[in-house]
Amino acid sequence: MATTTAGKPSVMRRILTFPLTWMIIGTVFVFLTNAILVGVGSEMDATGVIVTALIGAAAGLVFYQLTMWLVARRRTPELTVRGIGRETFLGLAIGVLFIAVSYLIVVATGAYTVTWAPHDVTTTVALALAVNAGAAIVEELTFRGLLFQGVEQLCGPRVGRWIALAVTAAFFGGAHLLNPGATLWSSLAIAIEAGVLLGAAFMWRRNLWFVFGIHFAWNVIEGLLGIPVSGHRDPGLFVTTVHGDGLLSGGAFGLEASFVPVLVSLAVAIPMLVAARRRRVAPTRSAAARVRLEAVGR
């Protein structure tokens, strides 16, 4: 590390390790690389789309690590390989449960008619898995990896994570305003059901593999059920036809614009936030107890 004659980090090093700096650098590289690859893939056949999506996800992971190591000069425990299988599986299970419950509630109201209509099952499933893996990884590296942790560090240990939760949720909802069929309501719904839920998941586990799992399972299940994913409809194994009030069904934007998953997501996110708070308090109390014991020993 470059230092001044007094042994302190140089001005350039302080600029680079400032949270806003590495947030911007990391976001540009992770998103720009993925956008270029997605653009290239869109001009190719299904195999090309799958390959470029997976390369984009891998490149995002590499650029994220490089940004944290070389620019922010911090470790990345949020991407540790220890427990990767457990964290990913837990995230997948929660993501599947969240979408399944939301979907079945809407189906039970009669707002959806579901028809089995597969076409080239292997290609359809492969595309859904690859494209949504790329999207989940890139979006979570950006919003929960870079933006959340950057805002958290900027705002300090006491309130930083709560401000980061609010800021990233708002940005995540706002980013989806550009999607087909988006409205102010759909953006607000995504800010709550995705921004808050995924932020709460990260606060609880402090593990990006866990958050990847939730996001990935969510998008894949929606897509295969034939529901637009944030306004984007791709071929699925089913065709889901919408009936009635868009506030219930989500309309052309998809399930995410329904009030049902908003309520279900809060039912999932609130226990996570409670668990995150308890997890944060427990080490603090333990540290205080050690200080008291040391004082008694002296």
* pLDDT tens, position by position, 225-276: 999 999 988 889 999 999 989 999 999 999 999 999 999 999 999 999 999 9
Per the domain annotation, does 214 fall within a domain?
yes
Q: In this predicted structure, what is the pLDDT of residue 15?
A: 92
Q: In this predicted structure, what is the pLDDT of residue 9?
A: 78
Count of structural domains within the chain: 1
Beta bridge partners of 281: none
Per-residue model confidence as pLDDT tens digits over 275-295: 999 887 654 444 444 434 344
Per the domain annotation, does 280 fall within a domain?
yes
The neighbour count for residue 284, using CB atoms within 10 Å, is: 9
Q: Mean pLDDT over residues 147-175, rounded? A: 95
Per the domain annotation, does 66 fall within a domain?
no
**Which residues, in sequence order, are CB contacts of 168 under 8 Å at separation 6+?**
143, 144, 147, 148, 151, 195, 199
Per the domain annotation, does 18 fall within a domain?
no
Per the domain annotation, does 262 fall within a domain?
yes
Q: In this predicted structure, what is the pLDDT of residue 50?
A: 96
Structure-token pair, residue 244: 């009635």
Residue 10 dihedral angles phi and psi, to the nearest 5°: -65, 165
Per the domain annotation, does 196 fall within a domain?
yes
Lowest pLDDT segment from 3-17, 46-60, 236-250: 3-17
Per the domain annotation, does 275 fall within a domain?
yes
Per-residue model confidence as pLDDT tens digits over 107-156: 999 999 999 988 899 999 999 999 999 999 999 999 999 999 999 999 99
Per the domain annotation, does 95 fall within a domain?
yes
Q: In this predicted structure, what is the pLDDT of residue 298?
A: 43
Full residue range of the structural domain in which residue 186 is found:
83-297
The pLDDT of residue 14 is above 70: yes
Mean of the per-residue pLDDT values of the chain: 91
Q: In this predicted structure, what is the pLDDT of residue 234?
A: 87
Alpha carbon separation from 144 to 78, 133, 137, 212 (Å, rounded):
10, 16, 10, 10
The pLDDT of residue 172 is above 90: yes
